[in-house]
Structures are given as structure tokens and as C-alpha cells.
Amino acid sequence: MMENAIAKKEMNELQTQYTSTEEVILRRRSVRKYKKEQVPQWMVKRILEAGRFAPSAGNSQPWKFIVLRDQKLIDELTEDVVKATQKGCQLLARKWMQPLIKPMIRMKPNRFHPTPFSVMPLLADGKLGLYFGAPTVILILKDVRGVSNPDLDCGIAGQNMVLAAHSMGLGTCWVGFTKMALEADKKWKRFFNIEFPYEFISSIALGWPSGNLDGMVPRQTRSVDWYEDGEKQNIY
């Protein structure tokens, strides 16, 4: 009876309070302003371990991580992304390109979504930093030979890393625009030794946040279909 009472109490507490893991997930925000102070190496290693322990189809672990902690290197990579966005904006502004924009969006709706399109001019004009002053950047590569869906597996590994970083008091931000530098100039692929079977997926800015940006924010609830007891339930 005593064991049942304790279990019931724990369940009641669980029902009314978030666990520490849930707190990390719900309170984490993307950080876009960092202190110059470098992150200790042991923290970065722990964060990489969190990524390495992510589940993957067939435990194929179809990823490779590249850590950048050299400010000159990060600045040079940033400059090349800015140059690439400038060229992209100039190209899109030409009259003969206008009829091609909608077909491009239809062909690659994710890549040519209005959100990245709206960010490109800000990057090109220097109004938005690529890594926002983060002293460490982690590149995530996928192994195209991975089982089933290596893109998804790399995303899970990255999520593990940003949550681990948040639990340590660090800030992170996903940065996809790094791809523009890798595509615009093959020197970066040569420099980072990115060749088959690896391809760039995304990158993560990592550092000490400048200010306390944590906190739960309102989120739109997406549709959830719930089937139980042989029929569709009105749970949400």
C-alpha cells in the first residue's frame, strides 16, 4: 500500500510539473548574440558526445562533425557567405530572372522559401551576422550511405547537441546559410576535406549567450489526430 501511495504521489507531481528534461526543451531559445569568451573544450566534447549518442537507423550514425574555434577562420567563412548572398541578391534583382523565381520556388520550395529569401538581403548588407559572434561553430555533415533517412538522423544528433548545450547554460542557433560558401567556392570543401560520402547538412553556432534569453514562448498548436479505443478522439 505504501509503495502504491508513493507511486501515486510521484505520478501526480509528474502530471503537474515539468521534468528537468522538459524544462530544457521548452525553455531553449535560438541565441543570436554571444559573448566573446570561448567555450571550454570539455563542454564542446560533451556536446559532441550527446550528438554521437543520438539514435539512428540501423545505428549507422551517418554523420561527421567539424568544430571551428578559430575566429579568423570563422570570419573568413562568414565573409564568403556574405559575398555569396550579395551575388545571389544581384542575380535575383535582374529582370530576366523574375519569371524564373516562381518555377524555382515550385521546384525547391524548402530552399527557396520566403523566409531564407527575406534573410539574404540582411546578410548581404551586413545587417545580420552569420554566426552572431559565436566563438564556436559546429558543422554537421551527413554520410549519404546512411540507412533509410540520414538527413533525419543528423537532425536528431543536432537536436541532442543544442539541448545538451542549453542544459550547460550555453546558447545555440542553427545556421543553414553556411552552405552558400561551400557551394560558391570549392576551396572550403577542400579545406574541410568534404568529399564522398559526406555532404554538408547544417551548422550550429555555439557560445555563452549575451543576456538571459531563456523562456517558454507561445507556440501555435499543430493538428494532432488521436486514435484510441477504436475511434478518433477529440483530445486536442
Q: Show the 3-state SS of the chain.
A: CHHHHHHHHHHHHHHHCCCHHHHHHHHCCECCCECCCCCCHHHHHHHHHHHHCCCCHHHCCCEEEEEECCHHHHHHHHHHHHHHHHHHHHHHHCHHHHHHHHHHHHHCCCCCCHHHHHHHHHHHCCCCCCCCCCCEEEEEEEECCCCCCHHHHHHHHHHHHHHHHHHCCCEEEEECCHHHHHHHCHHHHHHCCCCCCEEEEEEEEEECECCCCCCCCCCCCCCCCEEECCEEECCC
Mean pLDDT (the chain, rounded): 89
Residue predicted with more confidence, 7 or 187? 187
Residue 12 lies in a domain: no
Residue predicted with more confidence, 198 or 14? 198
Q: For position 77, what pLDDT does the model report?
A: 96
Q: What pTM was estimated for this model as a whole?
A: 0.88
Q: pLDDT tens, 72-89?
A: 999 999 999 988 888 877
Residue 34 lies in a domain: yes
pLDDT over 80 (residue 113): no
Q: For position 138, what pLDDT does the model report?
A: 98
Residue 218 lies in a domain: no
Distance, CA of 222 to CA of 145 (rounded, Å): 33
Residue-range definition of the domain harbouring residue 44: 30-82+127-207
Q: For position 79, what pLDDT does the model report?
A: 93
Q: Are 177 and 139 in contact (CB under 8 A)?
A: no
Residue 222 lies in a domain: no
Helix axes 114-124, 71-93, angle to 10 degrees: 110
pLDDT over 80 (residue 93): no
Residue 150 lies in a domain: yes
Q: For position 217, what pLDDT does the model report?
A: 86
Across 30-41, average pLDDT: 96
Residue 94 lies in a domain: no
Distance, CA of 45 to CA of 57 (rounded, Å): 23
| Lookup result for grid cell 543536432 | 158
Q: For position 151, what pLDDT does the model report?
A: 97
Residue 96 lies in a domain: no
Q: Look up the CATH number of the domain holding residue 156.
A: 3.40.109.10
Q: Are 34 and 208 in contact (CB under 8 A)?
A: yes
| Lookup result for grid cell 560533451 | 46
How many separate domains does the chain show? Answer: 1
Residue 7 lies in a domain: no
Q: Are 137 and 96 in contact (CB under 8 A)?
A: no
Q: pLDDT tens, 138-188?
A: 999 999 999 999 999 999 999 999 999 999 999 999 999 999 899 887 899
Split at pLDDT 50, 70, 90, the class of 119 is: confident
Split at pLDDT 50, 70, 90, the class of 11 is: confident
pLDDT over 80 (residue 102): no
Q: For position 122, what pLDDT does the model report?
A: 76
pLDDT over 80 (residue 232): yes
pLDDT over 90 (residue 115): no
